[in-house]
Amino acid sequence: MRVGRKTLTKAALNAAGTVCVVLGVLGIFLPLLPATPFLLLASACYIRGSERLHRRLLSNRHLGPYITNIKDKRGLPLRAKVYTLALLWASVAYSSYRFGLSPVSLALVACALCTTLFVARLKTLKT
């Protein structure tokens, strides 16, 4: 039996979407792993790969509103912004302490600054 190119493409998109969901969920708990880009990428993969998986992702009670608010440019709740930035800078401070003044520390600080600017520029939702 021959599998078509379209079927393989959809399978690859669904697999990539699932990997992105896992990385996005990990990014919620691991501050230097960004949740938002992975969740948005998962949504984009599922849109093209499986409408059922896309609906399931957006109907998830924890991830769905988060993804929808970001995609619709509505913003993030203040609590999420504070939590994100506090964990981000705590982990960068700890990592910089452990690595000392090195290129790794400078790269971490540069990434943290870019992330801080991104989060700060998002609208703040009133909850």
Entry pTM: 0.67
Q: How far apart are CA 45 and CA 118, in angstroms?
A: 23
Q: What is the pLDDT of residue 69?
A: 84
Q: Which residues pair with 122 in a beta bridge?
A: none
Question: CA angle at residue 67 from 11 to 21, to 5 degrees?
Answer: 40
CA angle 105, 106, 111 (to 5 degrees): 100
CA dihedral 16, 20, 22, 24 (to 10 degrees): 180
Q: Would you place residue 31 in the very low, low, confident or very high pLDDT band (cuts 50, 70, 90)?
A: low
pLDDT digits (tens, 9 = 90+) for 47-74: 999 999 999 999 999 899 888 887 887 8
